[in-house]
């Protein structure tokens, strides 16, 4: 099967680029490319669980990783998807971010359903 790319980076060339990469069982990839501004937009809305003392999952990675980060495999896709689904899209700064977020949620749900892995990579 051929690799599939959903591109939300076009028009932001020269800016930091983030990829969510679903590794399909047939060896191909489904990638969502986005401008870092979209990634930051929804991750900044990601609050810890009520009563939690620290970040977990995607929020932990986002808030504790330095500027030079290595490709990272999301360890618990269910937890990551739940985190993203709790984000209040009305608080997002950029209109397109809600579309990006929806595509990422779809990608994670498909990976969970098919027992596949998902990586986050800075390009």
pLDDT, tens digit, 9 for 90 and up, residues 28-49: 999 999 999 998 888 877 665 5
Do residues 62 and 46 lie in contact, with contact meaning Cβ atoms separated by under 8 Å?
yes
Residue 1: the pLDDT is 73
Looking at residue 39, its pLDDT comes to: 87
CATH no. for residue 105? 3.40.1760
At 68-93, the pLDDT tens digits run 667 888 889 998 999 889 888 999 99
- Count of structural domains, the chain: 1
Torsions phi, psi of 66, nearest 5?
-75, 180
**For residue 35, what are the domain limits?**
4-122
- Residue 56's pLDDT is what? 58
If pLDDT is split at 50, 70 and 90, which confidence band does 12 have?
Answer: very high
For residue 100, name the pLDDT band (cuts at 50, 70, 90).
very high
Predicted pLDDT of residue 69: 65
Q: What is the dihedral of CA 62, 104, 40, 38, to 10 degrees?
A: 160
Mean pLDDT on 93-103: 95
pLDDT at residue 59, as a whole number? 58
């Amino acid at each position: 099967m051929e690799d599939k790319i959903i591109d939300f980076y076009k028009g932001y060339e020269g800016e930091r680029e983030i990829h969510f990469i679903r590794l399909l069982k047939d060896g191909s990839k489904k990638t969502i490319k986005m401008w870092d501004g979209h990634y930051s937009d929804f991750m900044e809305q990601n609050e810890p669980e009520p009563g939690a003392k620290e970040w977990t999952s995607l929020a932990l990675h986002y808030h504790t990783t330095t500027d030079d980060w290595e490709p990272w495999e999301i360890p618990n896709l269910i937890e990551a998807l739940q985190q993203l689904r709790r984000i209040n899209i009305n608080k997002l700064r950029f209109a397109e971010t809600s579309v990006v977020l929806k595509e990422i949620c779809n990608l994670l749900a498909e990976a969970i359903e098919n027992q596949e892995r998902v990586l986050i990579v800075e390009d």
